[in-house]
Structure 1
Amino acid sequence: MDEMDPFEARLLFGNMLDNLTGAQPTIDRVSGFALKHTAMADDLLDCIADKLDKLQVPPRLNLLFVVDAILISSNRSSSQTWADLIKKNIVATVTAVIPETPGGDSNVPQVRKVVSGWKRKSVFDKGIMEKLDKLLGKRSGGATSESGMRHEDILKRIEEDRERHKRHKEDVWIRPAGEVPENELELYWETASDFNDADWQEITVENEEYQQERQLAEIVRRSM
Structure 2
Amino acid sequence: MDEMDPFEARLLFGNMLDNLTGAQPTIERVSGFALRHTAMADDLLECIGDKLDKLQVPPRLNLLLVIDAILISSNRANAQTWANLLKKNIVSTVTVVIPETPGGDSNVPQVRKVVSGWKRKSVFDKSIMERLDKLLEKRGGGDSGGGGGSANESGMKHQEILKRIEEDRERHKRHKEDVWIRPPDELPENELEMYWDTASDFNDADWQEIVVENEEYQQERQLAEMARRSV
TM (norm. structure 2) is 0.83
Q: Residue 143 of structure 2 aligns with which residue? A: 141
Q: Which moved more, 1:49-58 or 1:202-211?
A: 202-211
The Cα of 1:209 is off from its aligned counterpart by 2.4
The Cα of 1:220 is off from its aligned counterpart by 6.5
Gaps of 5+ in 2: none
Q: Residue 166 of structure 1 aligns with which residue? A: 173
CA offsets 1:122-170 (integer angstroms, 9 cap, x no match): 1111110000000000523334334232232122111001111222222
Distance 1:126 1:216, change over 3 A: closer
Gaps of 5+ in 1: none
SS in 2 for 1:28: helix
Contact 2:161–2:224 (8 Å) recurs in 1: no
The Cα of 1:56 is off from its aligned counterpart by 1.2
Paired with 2:215 and 2:196, the residues of 1 have a C-alpha distance of: 28
The Cα of 1:202 is off from its aligned counterpart by 2.9
Paired with 1:2 and 1:64, the residues of 2 have a C-alpha distance of: 29
Matches within 5 A, 1:119-130: 119-130=119-130
Distance 1:116 1:38, change over 3 A: same
Contact 1:109–1:141 (8 Å) recurs in 2: no
Distance 1:106 1:219, change over 3 A: closer
Amino acid of the structure 1 residue aligned with 2:178: D
Instruction: Kindly report the root-mean-square deviation, in angstroms, between the aligned alpha carbons of the 2 structures.
Output: 3.0
Contact 2:105–2:143 (8 Å) recurs in 1: yes
- The answer as to 2:40 corresponding to 1:33 is no
The Cα of 1:117 is off from its aligned counterpart by 0.4
TM (norm. structure 1) is 0.85
Contact 2:91–2:128 (8 Å) recurs in 1: yes
- The answer as to 2:204 corresponding to 1:206 is no
Matches within 5 A, 1:176-187: none
Identity across matched positions, percent:
81
Paired with 2:190 and 2:81, the residues of 1 have a C-alpha distance of: 25
Paired with 1:187 and 1:86, the residues of 2 have a C-alpha distance of: 32
Amino acid of the structure 2 residue aligned with 1:204: V
The Cα of 1:2 is off from its aligned counterpart by 2.5
Q: Residue 155 of structure 1 aligns with which residue? A: 162
The Cα of 1:208 is off from its aligned counterpart by 3.2
Distance 1:15 1:221, change over 3 A: closer
What count of residue pairs does the alignment treat as equivalent?
221
- The answer as to 2:2 corresponding to 1:2 is yes
The Cα of 1:207 is off from its aligned counterpart by 1.9
